[in-house]
Amino acid sequence: MKKKITVVVLIASLLIAYFFFVNEYQAKSIEEALDTPDQSNYKVIHIEKLEGSYFVLSKSNEDYLHTAMINKILGRYKTVYSGVHGDIDKVAEIFGVTDSYFPGIKDISKPLLYGVIGDSQVSKLVLINSDSKEEKDINIIEKDGLRLWIKSIENTDGIVYIIKGYNEKGEEVIERNLKFTPRVIISY
Q: Could you tell me whether strands 146-152 and 112-116 are parallel, antiparallel, or unpaired per DSSP bridges?
A: antiparallel
pLDDT band at 117 (very low <50, low <70, confident <90, very high): very high
Q: What is the largest CA-CA distance in the chain?
A: 81
Q: What is the pTM of this model?
A: 0.79
DSSP per position, 127-168: EEETTT--EEEE-EEEETTEEEEEEE----TT-EEEEEEE-T
DSSP state of 38: T
Give the pLDDT of residue 116: 92
CA distances from 14 to 18, 20, 76 (A): 6, 10, 18
Percentage with pLDDT > 90 across the chain = 29
> In which band, very low, low, confident or very high, does the pLDDT at 73 lie, cut at 50, 70 and 90?
confident
Least confident of 76-80, 83-87, 114-118, 143-147: 83-87
